[in-house]
A and B are shown apart, each in its own frame.
Chain A
């Protein structure tokens, strides 16, 4: 179909085929067909815009290496930077691929839930996508960023920022209005999601073992004391 892009991807892949990174983070874009998932990811990885609509067959992914600077819970940076290899899964929005694409939700660590700001219908479907995520993602409340795309088409806008913001707040997730055409907010949306996932990893390993998945972050420091007795020496 698009041999040019395939070749391009191949070249990119070659430069990234070593294990010299600290984290492999798998993100996944989902949303109705035509909202701009593929175009969005292409903008993010290659900083280019493709005005042609070539609907995605099933699934695809793109890759990008980024430097990530860890920050403390209070917002100050620890100064530590890590190499992150991002695997960005692109799913087909078309209904007929649904069982395939939703199956891939399970292996992603974070989600870009996209709709088209010029399509009310795509926004209405966000709720359906949310429930698909709840059912199929690796946990009940995965990290998600809501993305309203095609912000550049201001005259065709059908979804108001306030509306979308309210929905995002209801789910407790960040919201961005992006444009794959101009590149506006694209990086920010992805990095915000990456940041959420990075923080989630820490939470997951630091929550006391044997405790169920209910993310109650309150660590009982008192627990450390009784151990004193069973000294291994």
Chain B
């Protein structure tokens, strides 16, 4: 959609409405995040611990033992777990669900996921079902007019204030084509703007190639792309829920099983981690549609000055090898814009719902997190070192409230179809 036919004043009026909408959405996303964290907690508490013997007959929710003949429990229609009579919600002998399945249903309604699901059915082509039309427009037309006057290198000392107050948008240039190319999502940047030079440079880097041909040939991706997948527009969802509670229920004791992998110098010796490989990867990714979600937990350990990222699991991934319907997924992490921060999980064979439970520690001073983003990409490890892009997630790290216990728990992030270069878009 195009606002180019409208007068500048009209656009400004519309953008003002969209900014109000954005405010509302931020509140909403926060609410949903809290809701889903609570749900995750509930699931975690009730989850069968791996330490427990599998043969044991216990209620999957409260872990009380079940008898062979009486109080033997019954299987929940939602998750297929055996559930004692106390952990059931709902009426009738046939129509009950276990506490967790019930909570899932409730969250699916209250979070609006039901709506996104329906919308996704009718418009499967929408790349990001979480993004509203308003959001898209705002991203496309929100202009920081200052960008055009600041030379990209060396990065000037930018006054934080002048970028961060929405009042400044009043000075925004009219919506000419050239300005359009300089579009940077204002609102999602507020949180990202850092005084560090690196980040300012990031902010100012804009893409001049017209939309559409971006994937094929470009080496640096614009901030507009980054924002497309920005976390602000994203909250974890619950698709495939009723099909797939089973494996994910078991990650209750994840910490016991993790494999501590340290991020390493893999980058320098890496096979395909240079910028140019990214465009190849992008080419590959276009052939595979992106679906599913990635479960992450992010925490900051103040004692060890470590960012601790736990890759929990994925669910509902596309088959990386569509012909053979095979999928050997692994997850790669970067703390953008750092190039050296590559971390990788193990490759899981034949799994579209792989469970990793691997913890990665990234040593970084806490206040340096400002302006950084965690990028998690899911890849299919194909034959002959071919890899196929299965989706990615971007989480701004500065917006993270590390004090807030609830934000440290696992969260499902929907995978986005776009990818950016690991360094956040450096021109070579």
Complexed CA–CA distance, A113 and B48 (Å): 50
Known contacts A107-B134, A233-B54: A19-B94 contact under CB 8 Å: no
Q: Please indicate the chain B residues that have their CB under 8 angstroms from the CB of A24 in the complex.
A: 24, 28, 31, 112
Q: Please indicate the chain B residues that have their CB under 8 angstroms from the CB of A22 in the complex.
A: 110
B56 within 8 A of A: yes
B77 lies within 8 A of A227 (CB): yes
Residue of B at shortest CB range from A221?
B94
B5 lies within 8 A of A232 (CB): no
A103 within 8 A of B: yes
Q: How far is the CB of B108 from chain A (nearest CB, A)?
A: 5
Complexed CA–CA distance, A227 and B94 (Å): 12
B403 within 8 A of A: no
Q: Please indicate the chain B residues that have their CB under 8 angstroms from the CB of A18 in the complex.
A: 27
B122 lies within 8 A of A61 (CB): no
- Interface segment, A38-46, A148-156, A158-166, A204-212? A204-212
A232 lies within 8 A of B110 (CB): no
B154 within 8 A of A: no
B60 lies within 8 A of A205 (CB): no
Q: Please indicate the chain A residues that have their CB under 8 angstroms from the CB of B64 in the complex.
A: none
Complexed CA–CA distance, A221 and B132 (Å): 37
Q: How many residues of B contact A (CB 8 A)?
A: 54
The answer, among B14, B94, B114, for a CB contact under 8 Å with A59, is B14
The answer, among A206, A213, A232, for a CB contact under 8 Å with B60, is A232
Q: With contacts defined as CB atoms under 8 Å apart, how many contacts are there between chain A and chain B in the complex?
A: 115
A61 lies within 8 A of B115 (CB): no
The answer, among B80, B105, B117, B119, for a CB contact under 8 Å with A227, is B80
The answer, among B10, B110, B243, for a CB contact under 8 Å with A210, is B243
Interface of A, secondary structure class, is mixed
B88 within 8 A of A: no
Q: How far is the CB of B309 from chain A (nearest CB, A)?
A: 26
Q: Please indicate the chain B residues that have their CB under 8 angstroms from the CB of A61 in the complex.
A: 17, 20-21
B109 within 8 A of A: yes
Known contacts A103-B1, A139-B122, A205-B114: A231-B134 contact under CB 8 Å: no
B121 within 8 A of A: yes
B82 within 8 A of A: yes
Interface flags for B56-81 (1: CB within 8 Å of A; 0: not) read 11101000001000000011010011
CB interface residues, A 218-233, toward B, < 8 Å: 221, 223-224, 227-228, 230-233
Residue of A at shortest CB range from B60?
A232
The answer, among B55, B94, B119, for a CB contact under 8 Å with A139, is B119
Residue of B at shortest CB range from A197?
B115
Known contacts A24-B28, A205-B109, A231-B75: A138-B17 contact under CB 8 Å: no
The answer, among A17, A23, A57, A139, for a CB contact under 8 Å with B10, is A57
Q: List 20 A-B contacts (CB under 8 A).
A: A1-B13, A17-B23, A19-B31, A21-B31, A23-B112, A57-B13, A58-B13, A58-B14, A63-B24, A96-B5, A99-B1, A103-B133, A138-B115, A138-B118, A138-B123, A205-B114, A227-B77, A230-B75, A231-B82, A232-B80
